[in-house]
Amino acid sequence: MALVRFFRNGVILGSAEVEQNVPILEIAEDAGIEIPSGCTSGNCGTCLVKLIKGEVPIPNPPPPGLDDYLIDEGYILACICVADSACDIETNPPL
């Protein structure tokens, strides 16, 4: 069973099973964890979270809510990014 695990400031909040084609935002809801969101379409950046372990594909071209710097730092958009294997996500928003 592959899990997406959610952390805040390095402390685990919960986890839920990876689901094909289900964005991380919804996986978090399954785990009872609320990630702030707005547009839910990759535009506003409200749902920015950091991938701390594992791999999550970034759409190509990147959505408006991400830029090269954020991608290099490991950030993903929970509303549109889909985990296809186990991963760890830091939900604390960047400063």
What residue is closest to ligand FES based on CB? 79
Closer Cβ to ligand FES, 29 or 46, answer by number: 46
Q: How far is the CB of 69 from ligand FES (least distance, A)?
A: 16
- CB 26 within 8 Å of CB 77: no
Binding status of residue 88 toward ligand FES by CB under 6 A: no
73 alpha-carbon distance from chain centroid: 13
Q: How far is the CB of 76 from ligand FES (least distance, A)?
A: 10
Tokens linked to 91: 């939900």
Closer Cβ to ligand FES, 1 or 95, answer by number: 95
Q: Which ranges in 8-88 belong to alpha helices (H)?
A: 24-30, 68-72
Sheet harboring 3-8: ordered strands across? 11-17, 3-8, 87-90, 48-53, 75-77
Q: How far is the CB of 57 from ligand FES (least distance, A)?
A: 16
| Rounded Cα–Cα distance for residues 24 and 88 (Å) | 11
Find the binding residues for ligand FES in span 11-50 (CB under 6 A): 37-40, 42-47
Which residues in this chain contact ligand FES in the complex, by CB under 6 A? 37-40, 42-47, 65, 77, 79
